[in-house]
Structure 1
Amino acid sequence: MNWKKSLRAAGLVTALTFSLVGCNTEGSYSPQEIIDHALQETKEPLTYYGEYTMDMGEAGGKAQVKEWSKDGKRRIETISENGEHNIAVNNGSQIIMYDVVKNTVHKIDISKDGLDDFPSQRDQLEILFNTVKDTHDVKIAGEEKIAGRDTYKIVAKAKKNDTLIGDIEVWVDKKTWVTLKTITNSAGNKMTTEYTKLDDSAKIDDAQFTIDIPKDAKVEEISVPESESVKLDTVKEQLGEFLMVPEENGLTLDGISLDKGIEDRSEYTFNYSKNGQQNISVTVFKANSNANKVEPVFGEKEMDIRGQKGSVMDENKFRSISWQENGYQYSIFIGNSELTIEDLVTYAKQMTIVK
């Protein structure tokens, strides 16, 4: 599991456009009530055409975006300040991404397994607020107009400075509950998304959710990688001698999964439970001494683990420790949110060599 890559992407996820729908009622609301409305599932997705700007700072620069949404389908056209031009369409069964400049197309089939790896805008906002509900103070900061529409402004201020996700500002449309503007500070990078136009009475033709792909375009079908369940003997054959947390004091190994990581390396994840509940997950793979050094993510700190120079991440309900030892890279993650970094270090100290 490439968790550092996932953490770096978290900031970009929060910068995406949130096309969220709820019902409109009169009266004053608490921040949580506004969020609940924005996250509320509806029988009929909102149909609209929108235009917005994205400023992703050093992570990605600035871009102008056009968006069409109808019956759960979406089309997004993006033109960046450096001349990149991309068109992405989700037609309900397939995601098609067309790079106009490079004349390349990537297609992803989403009809079988759903969108677990491609969360909806509603899901993204829900993940964001669930992540910060215990680490940030959330309040209503007034009412403002964005793209000529009345909005509630919600501010989530981080309770401490050295956190992966910093202060967040969100402007939610009073009528549609679409999030019209967001400002996030994640992994040390400020990102701003702001609608300049939102037309919720637009007539959108289904043809918008198709792309006329040139005959000379390079087309690639992308499959979503799946984890493979493996036996301990298989891991031993592939890795040789490595460290493993023993099944002691009620800790039980539920299973081992194999994932293909960076450069197609084999990463093995050991999932443990205790008292019938998920407890920890441990990943191990052969370290590549020639690989480019991965810079620490914001909020990651150094710590001595098993006499080795390691790192820890302690962010709300996400805690992990990582280190290299005898040519292997190890990470231990919490499966039980009550566990502390000290608990993970204790598990690391208990690890023994398997042959």
Structure 2
Amino acid sequence: MIQETHEITSEGDEKIAGRNTFHLVAKPKEKSSLLGKQELWIDKENWMVLKMYSTSGNQTSKAIYTKIDVGATIPEKKFALHLAEDVEIKNLNELNKMKTVTLQQAREGLDTPFLYFPEENGMEISTIEQDDLTGLVERTEININYNKEDIPFLTLSVFESPKEEDETYTLPEEESVTVRNHEGSFIDMEGFRNLVWQEEGLTYSILIIDPSIPLEKLLQATEKMQIVK
């Protein structure tokens, strides 16, 4: 994954969990890299990563094996599933609450008017999906997928803005921009391009699929968005 975006060097051999490893260090070539510095300690015999430091944005994660037995045998009974009598079995496909809807149904599902891109200048709506999220995040999210000349162009997501601001997670090269006279942010990293802003109690997120769309043109297009009443 990082051979093209990082400079990779060897820092010699080390022992991790009693096993011989190669110690590799990968430093990003660009500051805007989605993945920052990576350090890997790789088992010489089976190429397992026994220790890893990984940086992404302002977060660093570490994973280290302290004990490992690669020759262990696991008896089949370990994989036997014993269910209690009151267990309820559900089909995972039935738990997926995402459904295909019309614009008007999306308006009803969101329970408030919202902005969208009208079909013009060759841009067409391919699908509109409503996702009723439950669990840690409970909200209805509308995802409108657009094509241009039968090729995926962008995805517009709309959902109710959180009542309280959570701890922000910043990514490298996140840029502050003004969208429809509102404060927003734009991220452009290794093909991932996303424009986000909040307006009238709703959060709008545009995932830009077509790499040829300049930010300036997209900002101009947001000024022509229409309301689904």
| 8 Å contact kept, 1:314–1:341 | no
Aligned residues: 221
Which residue number in structure 2 is paired with residue 333 of structure 1? Answer: 207
Are 1:194 and 2:64 an aligned pair? yes
Q: 2:135 matched to 1:265?
A: no
Out of 248, 268, 279, which is 2:120 matched to?
A: 248
Superposed, 1:1-355 pairs within 5 Å as: 129=1, 132-161=2-31, 164-210=34-80, 223=92, 225-238=96-109, 239-261=111-133, 263-288=137-162, 291-299=163-171, 300-355=174-229
- C-alpha contact 2:195 2:207 (8 A) present in aligned 1: yes
Aligned-partner SS, 1:196: coil
SS at structure 2 position matched to 1:350: coil
Rounded to whole Å, the distance in 2 between the matches of 1:162 and 1:190 is 16
The residue number in structure 2 matching 1:98 is none
Distance across 2 between alignment mates of 1:157 and 1:272: 36
Between the two proteins, what is the percent identity of the paired residues?
Answer: 33
**Alignment RMSD, CA only?**
2.9
CA drift of 1:137 comes to: 2.6
More helix by proportion, 1 or 2? 1
Query: Structure 2 vs 1, CA of residues 211 and 282 (structure 1 numbering), >3 Å: closer, same or farther?
Result: same
Q: Find the residue that maps to 2:45 and give its secondary structure.
A: coil
Unmatched 5+ stretches in structure 1: 1-128
SS of 1:165's partner is: coil
1:284 to partner: Cα distance? 0.9
CA distance in 1 between counterparts of 2:192 and 2:28 reads 16
Post-superposition offset of 1:162 = 5.9
In structure 2, give the amino acid aligned to 1:269: N
Deviations 1:282-325 (A, max 9, x none): 0112335xx22033322244321111011222221211111111
C-alpha distance in structure 2 between counterparts of 1:201 and 1:340, whole Å: 54
Contiguous gaps of at least 5 residues in structure 2 = none
